[in-house]
Amino acid sequence: MNAPLVLRHVSKAYASVRALNDVSFSVGPGEFAVLLGPSGAGKSTVFRCLTRLAHVDEGDIEVHGQALQNLSGAALRHARRSIGLIFQQHNLIGRLSAMNNVLTGRLAGMPTWRVLGRRFAAADRQAALTCLDRVGLLDKAYLRADALSGGQQQRVAIARVLAQEGSVVLADEPVASLDPESARHVLATLRSVARDQGIAVLCSLHQVGLAREFADRLIGIKAGSIVFDGAPSSIDLAAEQALYGQGSQGDASVPETPPDRRKPSPDVLANAAA
Ligand SMILES: Nc1ncnc2c1ncn2[C@@H]1O[C@H](COP(=O)(O)OP(=O)(O)O)[C@@H](O)[C@H]1O
Ligand SMILES: [Mg+2]
């Protein structure tokens, strides 16, 4: 069987910037693959190509065995519907309940009059509640989205892609604006979505620690090129250092303390007391 998501020899340039250089990898059903790389590595460009927001210059992309470049009209809409998207900013509608946000994931197959009036069938409402339950937010179903924490909102966004019933989920830095605890909760939720629903999940991160902890598979990208691809246990420190440069711990989630926030030295304290 074809993997749900396949990139073959994909290259992409923006004017003079070569953003992707001969990128090939695939993501299988039920796999939680993390695209790991520093800022500017080309992660978002991979997602833009996968959603056809950007056209590839060379190579091809297949979703469920269909070449994305060749699709148009109904076939393209169908392919897009099979791909759930999660962004750094969750893109929920703040004034709608968590439940109604999840229901918007089902809009693709729904007549316009029902969308506008938001009269969802009982079966759709039940499906939305099931999706919220899966991300652990059933008790928040009727709260406004903007009353939820950042991590909870991101989990509503995951419930929304579940309601869409696609078989591929793309998440571009979904935890970039979350505190570490919420980030771990969101990544655990995404991983269980992959495992329990057999969905192919591609998630970009820039934090090595989180990537190692949650990924089934780590795909390292630097300056537009894949530098490693394998199980987290097979990626050694040297490969990690190659990704982030010599001497780096590669974990941007733990910023260095700026000099002015460091504890003053005893000398400084002694001078201040004098
Ligand atoms: N619209 C654009 N026009 C020109 N250059 C771009 C554009 N978008 C991204 N780039 C460049 O392409 C490279 C990859 O960017 P991006 O895919 O956003 O990286 P990442 O998501 O890993 O931070 C960077 O050098 C970036 O400056
Ligand atoms: Mg990016």
Q: Residue 71 to residues 47, 60, 63: CA-CA distances in angstroms?
A: 17, 12, 11
Q: Which domain does 208 fall in, by range?
A: 1-82+203-274
Q: What percent of the chain has pLDDT over 70?
A: 85
The answer to the question of residue 246 being in a domain is yes
In this structure, are strands 32-36 and 200-205 parallel, antiparallel, or unpaired? parallel
3-state secondary structure of 132: helix
Instruction: Note whether residue 166 is domain-resident.
Output: no
Q: What is the pLDDT of residues 39-55, one digit of tens each?
A: 999 999 999 999 888 89
Compute the average pLDDT of residues 101-117: 73
Q: Is residue 53 part of a domain?
A: yes
> pLDDT tens digits for 206-250?
999 999 999 999 999 999 999 999 999 998 888 888 888 754 444
Query: For position 221, which CATH number holds?
Result: 3.40.50.300
Domain annotation covers residue 111: no
Number of separate domains in the chain: 1
What's the CA angle centered on 244, arms 243 and 248, to 5 degrees? Answer: 135
CB 220 within 8 A of CB 227: yes
Helix/strand/coil for 245: coil
Atom of ligand 1 lying closest to residue 15 CA: 4
State mean pLDDT over 189-200: 95
Is 148 domain-assigned?
no
Give residue 102's pLDDT. 93
pLDDT score of 107 more than 80: no
Ligand approaching nearest to the C-alpha of 46: 1
Inside any domain, residue 215? yes
Q: Which of 10, 17, 48 to mutate to test the pocket of ligand 1 (most atoms within 8 A of CB)?
A: 17
Cα–Cα distance between 143 and 96 in angstroms, integer? 8
Q: What is the pLDDT of residue 271?
A: 40
- For residue 226, is it within any domain? yes
pLDDT for 136: 96
CA 9 to chain centre: 22
The answer to the question of residue 58 being in a domain is yes
As a whole number, mean pLDDT of residues 7-24 equals 96
For residue 46, the ligand 1 atom closest to its alpha carbon is: 17
Give CA–CA dist 98/109, Å, rounded: 20
Pair 211, 176: CB distance under 8 Å? no
What is the reported pLDDT for 259? Answer: 36
